[in-house]
């Protein structure tokens, strides 16, 4: 048998493939391996529909509408059902349960200390990093952002200003949305003004310093608004009071109107500094809207805390002038843990423990929103089982692919045909249920040993309380053996 022609064919094919590879390397993506400034703005409990461009019947958000028009908007971007899990996924690029975050309190909001973070990755790649607002991934010294990759820290404690729970999770004692004490690089400072304004103003001051020093920066601007209590500067509430909204709704939407105005200030500042073209600006929320303040969720089923579409679908706009086409829409299913690998691909950073990432880069979609995007199954779980209770596998969970959402193993929806989840089609597609269930069983088996914060002791005072009393030479009161958490938990 003469095999020479066959091997000659292989050699030619190999050479062609090699040349193709070299050509690809010679023409890298214009978005890849550069160092734009990065600003990630994330709000708290603002739903997908809480933006006027998404159809809200009363709320006006002209600056967010402008940002959307200047951005690529991901129309099927999904977070977790509650906030600390979402924040852990952004910071780690991993499933929240895989980094120990299964709740928003009970010490189960703490992101495992052995997990590399987005801020660390960017800092190692030459970025200067700052956080302004909400962290909610652990208040003890080892868990705080200055130990997780952030150079500049201006934050409140716990999951919200004034919150306090059993264990270490709590904010400075007595804090309120107006004039709060803020922890600035490990020293409490007394402020004057509304919390959202404070976070934006401080972030802008720091970014100006970075700009003047010609240092690339990563700004994580994480508001605690519009999370309850629903407190807003009065003038933002007036349109909603006139429309007959109740006090909580007025505060909720008033806070969003305030956020919108601050976003306008930020975008104008980037233009004034002439760095808008060199800055990636991301806007998103951490979960669906809160039931207490929200009045409309675009007809979607579920709100915050739900594993249905309305509980996890959030706005996600990404603007990078001259790199990302403005006023474009991407319909592909993308998750919060995809942000880290995407920013790694853009900046040329190398994530540590890359094989542990759940996310993947959506850079191809930024270049072409219709690009091939392999379908995948992704998991949502509410978590939040009670103190000292066993993890709950078969309750408050969902699996999602590009077409399907399986909820609690009992309800299957064809999201492409039925985005509002009106018709359960589980009996018609047993093969889909079988495939998703098998995936979930394997996912859960891996997750359980990684839930490192389960049954952590809740003894002693909140960390921020102790720091506050020490800084101001105040007496430490006896420990109040309160319930593990109150009804005000985040």
Q: One digit per residue, pLDDT tens: the chain, 490 residues?
A: 343 333 333 333 333 333 333 333 334 566 777 899 999 999 999 999 999 999 999 999 999 999 999 999 999 999 999 999 999 999 999 999 999 999 999 999 999 999 999 999 999 999 999 999 999 999 999 999 999 999 999 999 999 999 999 999 999 999 999 999 999 999 999 999 999 999 999 999 999 999 999 999 999 999 999 999 999 999 999 999 999 999 999 999 999 999 999 999 999 999 999 999 999 999 999 999 998 888 899 999 999 999 999 999 999 999 999 899 999 999 999 999 999 999 999 999 999 999 999 999 999 999 999 999 999 999 999 999 999 999 999 999 999 999 999 999 999 999 999 999 999 999 999 999 999 999 999 999 999 999 999 999 998 999 999 999 999 999 999 887 555 554 444 4
Domain ranges of the chain: 37-367, 378-450
In what helix (H) or strand (E) does residue 84 lie, and over which residues does it extend? helix 83-92
Rounded Cα distance, 257 and 336, in Å = 24
Report the b/e string of 190-228 with b at 16+ CB within 10 A.
ebeebbbbbbbbbbbebbeebbeeeebbbbbbbbbbbbb
Residue 299, C-beta contacts closer than 8 angstroms, at least 6 positions apart: 420
Query: Helix, strand, or coil here: 317?
Result: strand
Residue 243, C-beta contacts closer than 8 angstroms, at least 6 positions apart: 58
pLDDT of residue 295: 87
Dihedral (Cα; 327, 332, 337, 343), 10-degree rounding: -50
pLDDT of residue 482: 57
pLDDT of residue 158: 98
Name which of 125, 230, 220, 218 is nearest 177 in CA terms.
230
The class level of CATH for 37-367 reads alpha beta
The class level of CATH for 378-450 reads alpha beta
Rounded Cα distance, 263 and 283, in Å = 9
Query: Helix, strand, or coil here: 485?
Result: coil
């Amino acid at each position: 048998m003469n095999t020479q022609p066959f091997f000659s064919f292989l050699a030619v094919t190999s050479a062609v493939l090699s040349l193709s590879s070299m050509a690809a390397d010679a023409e890298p993506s214009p978005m890849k391996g550069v160092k734009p400034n990065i600003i990630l703005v994330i709000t708290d409990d603002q739903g997908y529909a809480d933006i006027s461009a998404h159809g809200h019947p009363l709320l006006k958000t002209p600056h967010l509408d402008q940002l959307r028009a200047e951005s690529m908007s991901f129309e099927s971007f999904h977070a977790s059902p509650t906030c600390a899990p979402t924040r852990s996924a952004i910071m780690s690029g991993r499933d929240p349960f895989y980094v120990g975050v299964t709740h928003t309190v009970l010490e189960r909001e703490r992101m495992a200390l052995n997990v590399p973070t987005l801020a660390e990755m960017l800092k190692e790649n030459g970025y200067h990093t700052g956080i302004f607002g909400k962290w909610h991934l652990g208040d003890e010294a080892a868990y705080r952002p200055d130990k997780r990759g952030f150079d500049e820290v201006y934050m409140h404690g716990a999951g919200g200003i004034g919150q306090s729970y059993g264990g270490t999770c709590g904010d400075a004692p007595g804090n309120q949305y107006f004039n709060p004490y803020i922890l600035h690089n490990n020293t409490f400072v007394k402020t004057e003004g509304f919390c959202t304004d404070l976070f934006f103003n401080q972030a802008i001051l720091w970014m100006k310093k970075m700009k003047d020093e010609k240092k690339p920066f990563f700004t994580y601007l994480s508001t605690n608004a519009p999370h309850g209590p629903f407190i807003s500067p009065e003038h933002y509430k007036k349109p909603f009071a006139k429309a007959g909204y109740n006090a909580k709704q007025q505060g909720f939407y008033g806070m969003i109107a305030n956020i919108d105005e601050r976003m306008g200030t930020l975008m104008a500042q980037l233009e004034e500094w002439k760095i808008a073209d060199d800055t990636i600006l991301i806007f998103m929320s951490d979960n669906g809207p809160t039931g207490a303040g929200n009045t409309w969720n675009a007809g979607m089923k579920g709100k915050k805390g739900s594993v249905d579409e309305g509980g996890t679908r959030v706005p996600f706009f990404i603007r990078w002038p001259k790199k990302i086409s403005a006023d474009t829409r991407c319909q592909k299913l993308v998750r919060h843990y995809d942000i880290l690998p995407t920013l790694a691909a853009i900046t040329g950073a190398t994530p540590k423990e890359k094989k542990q990432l759940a996310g993947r880069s959506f850079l191809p979609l930024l270049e072409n929103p219709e690009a091939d995007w392999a379908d995948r199954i992704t998991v949502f779980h509410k978590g939040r089982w009670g103190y000292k209770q066993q993890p709950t596998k078969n309750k408050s969970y969902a699996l999602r692919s590009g077409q399907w959402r399986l909820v609690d193993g009992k309800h299957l929806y064809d999201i492409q045909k039925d985005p509002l989840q009106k018709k359960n089609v589980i009996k018609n597609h047993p093969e889909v249920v079988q495939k998703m269930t098998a995936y979930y069983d394997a996912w859960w088996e891996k997750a359980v040993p990684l839930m490192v914060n389960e049954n952590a002791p809740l003894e002693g005072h909140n960390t921020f309380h102790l720091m506050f009393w020490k800084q101001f030479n105040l007496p430490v009161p006896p420990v109040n053996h309160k319930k593990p958490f109150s009804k005000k938990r985040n």
